[in-house]
A = this chain, B = another copy of it.
């Protein structure tokens, strides 16, 4: 038979209630919403709890209430700095709230993502933040089964699961290429690594811009499925130089690639931007510090995290969510590495902005 499993030292709600001379439910109320308990009992409960060292049992709470305060966050990479800013935004927004973030890493695999969503489901999360829009059909089913507010981040697209916040990678890259075209560049290369869905869409933007300008040439594109890094930027650029020696600019799908290209140019004594202009993507911190400073496409990752978190909380707590699909836009931050006209060259750093948004 199920014998008694009572462990002596354990402090439950009941013990606190006894010591405080109230019923357990009152103690429960005190912990969830102190204002619903009269001041006198409030004080008694508080001191009783402190005296006994009471710690609420979240499992029991979740079982009884049929919900948790867990927010599941699914991102494809912990290494990619892009997600650091995003996460900072998310963590900042949830700071001091009652929600706890549970972070999972899909490693750019939709199957991993599916499995991780299954695990989240067992926890009955209060909300879900997932990266991108390329979930499997199975994955979407699981998300829907979770029956909680969901925000898809990083991208925009048709058919959102619930809410969505991001920007158009196609448009952002198109704007970057347009900027280079505006600077007089014609033989603009594209280098990209890892080639996840978002980088693929940047490549689409590149192709569209080059085709629209009747300058498209497949030899100008060099990609690799490996993780992005400065070293890889240097080697992809070297490959590109072989395929297209008459290159006059390079768009890098990530900033670390751009940094590697800059160093490779220094190594080969290629003048930037005079011989080759460089544009990166994401506008990481070091881009402004580089010599020459490096042009990049700024994306509002921190804001994206914050707002995604806010949208989730609003939805959970029944507040109306003004916009269920938010376009955060982007901005081409022009710096020395792509400033070729005399007039433009005298602008202060970061003065040149080409921004895009659907608002």
Contacts and interface: CB of A to CB of B under 8 A. Distances in A.
A105 B118 CA distance: 25
Given A59-B68, A79-B84, A122-B55, A102 B102 contact: yes
A103 B101 contact: yes
A259 B84 contact: no
A273 to B, nearest CB: 15
A58 interface: yes
Contact of A63 (B60, B88, B118): B60
Contacts of A145: 53, 55
Nearest to A7: B66
A81 B78 contact: no
A261 to B, nearest CB: 10
A100 B231 CA distance: 33
Interface stretch (A187-195, A246-254, A283-291): A283-291
A101 B121 CA distance: 15
Contacts of A350: none
When all copies of this chain in the complex are counted, the total is: 2
Interface string A213-236: 000000000000000011101100
A296 to B, nearest CB: 13
**Do most interface residues of chain A lie in helix, strand or loop, or is the interface mixed?**
helix
A62 interface: yes
A58 B291 contact: no
Nearest to A91: B105
Contact of A263 (B60, B81, B289): B289
B84 A88 contact: no
Contacts of A62: 58-59, 62
A59 B62 CA distance: 6
Interface of A: 53, 55-60, 62-63, 68, 78-79, 81, 84-85, 87-88, 91, 100-105, 118-119, 121-124, 145, 229-231, 233-234, 256, 259-260, 263, 266-267, 285-286, 288-291
The 10 closest A-B pairs by CB, nearest first: A59-B62, A230-B289, A230-B286, A266-B291, A59-B63, A58-B122, A231-B289, A263-B291, A78-B87, A103-B103
19 contacts: A53-B145, A55-B145, A56-B122, A58-B122, A59-B60, A59-B123, A62-B62, A63-B63, A78-B87, A78-B88, A79-B84, A81-B81, A230-B286, A230-B289, A231-B288, A231-B289, A233-B289, A256-B286, A259-B286
